[in-house]
């Protein structure tokens, strides 16, 4: 009897161990089946979904500037752009505020000296200058943005046109030291400065409109190449002291600007100036008086080049009136789309040769 009871006890223990083992295997199998579905796959799917949502939010954050396509908060675009004439004589360099401009024009003035006009909307620099005088052809560009026009005097024709065209004029010739002031680190006349705050206050005192509407260029939602020829470097040799150039940085996919082969830095921030888009616009140009003043024909049609993302393509431009926008097209008449970012527009005589690599 004792042996029989022992056998039964052993068999009972064996069955209990066997059943317990089967249960553990079944539970482990269930866990292994569930882990790829719950722990791994779902977590990976959730991560991908979150990343995708975050990327979409980054792309859609804010609104694009109408003049550069740069995304910003909406409040930054509901105000009037302003255009500032900037001195580029060698004793005036470096300039302050150019690192915050969205569009910069470089055009010949008297002789072979170039002058800048910088367009601001989304940024409000604390220091801008040195401020310089107006020329008629700069008015044609400023009016494209219905901009406040900031300068210190101008040629007789420019001053006459400003009145005739009823531009929103802010000139140092008729404003006080709260709008324009001189700094002692440079010699006259290359040392006059202003600020965005001073400009806005002057405009308000004059009762100029704050909100404006104007036709804009077209911009890509995302950066794109233009199916052009490769371009790593371009130089525009206006004169021996005026040789701007741009070098392409493949990692950052933008162009760094140089003056006479030295980095073009902003006076205030010390930042090396860059461009996402470069437009070279060829124009009919002629000297019209003994002072070397020029007539530059900007209403009409002409040729040029569009440079972005390491590529260059030939373009044509059209402007139907002094206030009308300058539109740019490829040779097949497709209107160009710029990439969101800073735009440098170089106006050159139509017989000028640029240097490219």
Contact 307, 296 (CB under 8 A): no
pLDDT in tens, 249-300: 999 999 999 999 999 999 999 999 999 999 999 999 999 999 999 999 999 9
Q: Distance between CA 48 and CA 43 in Å, rounded?
A: 9
Single pTM value for the model: 0.84
pLDDT in tens, 200-213: 999 999 999 998 98
Domains of the chain in sequence order: 71-206 (3.50.90.10), 218-356 (3.50.90.10)
CA distance 162 to 149: 9
The secondary structure of 205-268, three-state, reads: HHCCCCCCCCCCCEECCCCCCCCCEECCEEECCCECCECEEEEEECCCCEEEEEECCEECECCC
d(CA 233, CA 216): 28
**Of 57, 60, 81, 62, the residue nearest 72 (C-alpha):** 62
Return phi, psi of residue 324, to 5°. Answer: -70, 155
- CA separation for the pair 127, 32 (Å, rounded): 66
Stretch 39-53: mean pLDDT, rounded?
Answer: 40
- Whether residue 17 is predicted with pLDDT greater than 60 in this model: the reply is no
Q: Which residue has the tokens 């039964």?
A: 8
- The whole-number pLDDT of residue 211 equals 85
The answer on pLDDT for 214 being more than 50 is yes
**Distant-in-sequence, close-in-space partners of 220: CB < 8 Å, separation ≥ 6:** 69, 337, 338, 339, 340
């Amino acid at each position: 009897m004792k042996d029989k009871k022992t056998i039964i006890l052993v068999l009972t223990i064996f069955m209990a161990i066997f059943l317990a083992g089967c249960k553990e295997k079944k539970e482990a199998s269930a866990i292994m089946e569930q882990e790829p579905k719950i722990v791994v796959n779902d977590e990976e799917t959730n991560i991908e979904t979150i990343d995708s949502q975050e990327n979409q939010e980054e792309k859609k954050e804010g609104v694009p500037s109408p003049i550069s396509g740069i995304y910003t908060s909406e409040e930054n675009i509901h105000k009037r752009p302003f255009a500032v004439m900037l001195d580029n004589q060698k004793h005036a360099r470096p300039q302050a505020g150019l690192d915050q401009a969205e569009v910069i024009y470089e055009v010949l003035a008297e002789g072979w000296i170039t002058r800048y006009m910088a367009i601001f909307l989304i940024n409000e620099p604390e220091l801008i200058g040195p401020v310089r005088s107006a020329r008629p052809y700069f008015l044609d560009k400023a009016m494209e943005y219905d901009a406040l026009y900031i300068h210190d005097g101008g040629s007789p024709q420019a001053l006459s046109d400003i009145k005739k065209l009823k531009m929103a004029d802010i000139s140092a010739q008729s404003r006080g030291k709260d709008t324009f002031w001189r700094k002692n680190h440079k010699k006259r006349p290359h040392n006059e400065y202003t600020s965005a705050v001073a400009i806005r206050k002057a405009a308000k005192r004059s009762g100029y409109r704050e909100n404006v509407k104007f036709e804009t260029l077209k911009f890509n939602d995302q950066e794109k190449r233009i199916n052009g020829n490769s371009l790593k470097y371009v130089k525009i040799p206006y004169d021996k002291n005026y040789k701007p150039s741009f070098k392409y940085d493949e990692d950052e996919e933008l162009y760094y600007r140089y003056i006479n082969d030295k980095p073009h830095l902003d006076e205030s921030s010390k930042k090396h100036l860059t461009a996402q888009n470069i437009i070279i616009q060829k124009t009919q140009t002629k000297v019209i008086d003994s002072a070397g003043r020029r007539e530059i024909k900007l209403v009409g049609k002409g040729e040029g080049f569009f440079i972005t993302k390491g590529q260059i393509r030939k373009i044509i431009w059209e402007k139907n009136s002094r206030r009308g926008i300058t539109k740019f097209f490829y040779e097949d008449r497709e209107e160009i789309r710029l990439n969101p970012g800073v735009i440098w527009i170089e106006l050159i005589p139509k017989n000028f040769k640029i240097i490219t690599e």
